[in-house]
Structure 1
Amino acid sequence: MSDTRDWRLGTTYSIHGYARVHGSFDEVPIFTAMNPAIAEQIMEDHQGALAARREAEALAEKLKSANKDNVALRVRLEAAKAETAKVRAEALNVVGTARRAHAVLDDQMRGHLRKLVDSAADIEAACE
């Protein structure tokens, strides 16, 4: 595991690296380099790794949040699907009832028309 502490270069020779300890003024010696250029490269590498780690942690948190949102949205989707199925079943029931009512009314109207035609024929027959 990489060191997650912030580092700094020593001010006297610029070849010593120190790690800052959170909540304290103490610093822990980390490395001694051959020259200031190497020490600066070590610092840059550490800062780059530290920044990449922090970015990865932030992305991991975003992923956790997105996963929670995804789970919540899936639950809502399933509830919406169930509600849609319920409404669809009710709509099909209403359509079936309307069709049955239409058939009954159509049958009654045809019966009424037959009676009118029959009575008209009876009237004509009576007139002749």
Structure 2
Amino acid sequence: MSAVGLAALALSACAEAPEIDPIAQKTMIGLSERAVLTCMGGAPARVTRPAEATEIWTYRSGVTTTDSPPWAVGTNFSLLTGEKPCDVRIVMTNAHVSQVSYALPDGRALPSGRQCSFPVWTCAALRATQ
């Protein structure tokens, strides 16, 4: 396969941007504590920073995925690893979501080519009603 063909394959693997992260960022910012507890469920691990009126909620409900097709194994090495758990970290400032971020359970950044998928659709529906 020529270099041009390989480049085309690599670019086509990147053509579809992951939807979970942009949707979470767009729909969860501004949600109240109550709304997050409703849509994410359960009790998250919490770290409180009272001086900043901030709490960091960590949900261990995510799974790392990739949106690359299986034939892209030669161009996207993240396909070689299966699904792994990831944390969804929600920063609450003055009782409302101010940031959504993702990390591996040990705190490291997600591997290149992977995203953290989690059940954001319920939160998106709540945002539409607020």
TM-score by length of 2: 0.22
Of Structure 1 and Structure 2, the greater strand share is in 2
Of Structure 1 and Structure 2, the greater helix share is in 1
**In terms of Rg, which structure is larger?**
1
